[in-house]
Structure 1
Amino acid sequence: MTTRWLTPEQERAWRSYIAASWLLEDTIDRQLQQEAGMPHLYYSVLAHLSDAPDRRMRMTDLAEATKITRSRLTYVVTRLEKDGTVRREGCPTDRRGSMAVLTDAGTALLERAAPGHVATVRAAVFDHLTPEQVSQLEAICDRITEALQASEEQSTCGGLPWRRRSSSA
């Protein structure tokens, strides 16, 4: 098989994306650690639960929403349970499944953390883009996500993170 090397334009775009994504994740993570005492992933879990009906989601659905393995989500939810911000309940429709539920303490933490998080995201990303660029960014990210999910659905190399048995699979 012949390697399809990136064109110079693609190489520049790729390196630009990598630099921006790593710096953005570091910026967001640092802000949340300093102001709310939690990493970005924990904030994302709380935010997804906050948006869910009755502030609860099946663990498998939450893993898919956050794009992480079920084992990693289990670890995160266990840590959040120790902090009293999330609790687990049995799933009413599947005895093998469980639900993650945002507690009142979790809601209060999210409400305290959200203004700083939003200000950081706005300052790091949206304050530098035109409305047209925001639309383009959304379209590009959606396209990449859809393509990756479609190709991983067909993959025999481990598949989508939330379908893996462990983070090392």
Structure 2
Amino acid sequence: MSAGDFESRWLSPDVNSVWTRFLQVTHRLEHHIDRRLQEQHGITHTQYEILLRLADSDERAMRMSDLADSIVTAKSAVTYQINKLSEMGLVSRKKCGRDNRGIWVHLTEDGSARLEQAAPCILSLVRELFLDAISCDQAAELDKLLGTWSDNLDAHDRNPVAYPGHPGAEAA
């Protein structure tokens, strides 16, 4: 594959194959994680990510809009998930004192317990389905590629997402 392959209007077959394989692998990985979490812990991967973000935040709470940005999804999708998590007693909601339009989402004790129970499942799956399949050198190369893609997305995005190790992560 050469750089010229990326310049035509349509993807060449080999470049299209890379893109298609990337999509298939990421979707399959997400499906495996989602299915296992639902079977063993009664939550989806998205719900796990929400609980994790809340646990990692100050006072185990975030504004709904910031939560949506942190998991890179639409606010309506987060609202749907928060409704489900609230029904399970894993989060609670409160109006923002300074801004009546804002909603704060708080991790409950039950939510913290569910997150703690589900974490070993996620870690096991990450190792089994992702890390065990590649060498340390391949992981380092993948990290470089992901950094390149993330930087490119940041350059095209009005709200870049800070991730651990990213130059702007500490400020975010």
Of residues 80, 93, 96, the one that matches 1:88 is 93
Give the aligned partner of residue 165 of structure 2: none
Secondary structure in structure 1 of the residue aligned to 2:92: strand
Once residues 146 and 65 of structure 1 are traced to their aligned partners in structure 2, the CA distance between those partners, rounded to angstroms, is: 16
6-15 or 18-27, which deviates more: 6-15
Give the aligned partner of residue 170 of structure 2: none
Once residues 51 and 31 of structure 1 are traced to their aligned partners in structure 2, the CA distance between those partners, rounded to angstroms, is: 23
Look up the equivalent residue of 2:20 and give its one-letter code: R
Asked if 1:141 corresponds to 2:141, the answer is no
Higher relative contact order (CA 8 A, sep 6+): 1
Give the aligned partner of residue 156 of structure 1: none
Cα distance change of structure 1 residues 32 and 89 upon mapping to structure 2, 3 Å threshold? same
Give the aligned partner of residue 114 of structure 1: 119
Of residues 51, 54, 66, the one that matches 2:56 is 51
Consecutive unaligned residues of structure 1, counting only runs of 5 or more, are 154-158, 161-169
Alignment of 1:1-169 (within 5 A): 4-153=9-158
How many angstroms does 1:133 deviate by? 2.0
Look up the equivalent residue of 2:81 and give its one-letter code: V
Cα distance change of structure 1 residues 61 and 146 upon mapping to structure 2, 3 Å threshold? farther
Q: Tell me how large the CA RMSD over aligned residues is.
A: 2.1
Once residues 94 and 51 of structure 1 are traced to their aligned partners in structure 2, the CA distance between those partners, rounded to angstroms, is: 23
How many angstroms does 1:152 deviate by? 4.3
Consecutive unaligned residues of structure 2, counting only runs of 5 or more, are 1-6, 161-172
Once residues 48 and 77 of structure 2 are traced to their aligned partners in structure 1, the CA distance between those partners, rounded to angstroms, is: 14
Once residues 95 and 30 of structure 1 are traced to their aligned partners in structure 2, the CA distance between those partners, rounded to angstroms, is: 37
Once residues 39 and 78 of structure 2 are traced to their aligned partners in structure 1, the CA distance between those partners, rounded to angstroms, is: 22
Give the % identical residues.
Answer: 34
Secondary structure in structure 2 of the residue aligned to 1:99: strand
How many angstroms does 1:137 deviate by? 2.2
Secondary structure in structure 2 of the residue aligned to 1:60: helix
How many angstroms does 1:50 deviate by? 1.0
TM-score (norm 1): 0.82
Secondary structure in structure 1 of the residue aligned to 2:102: strand
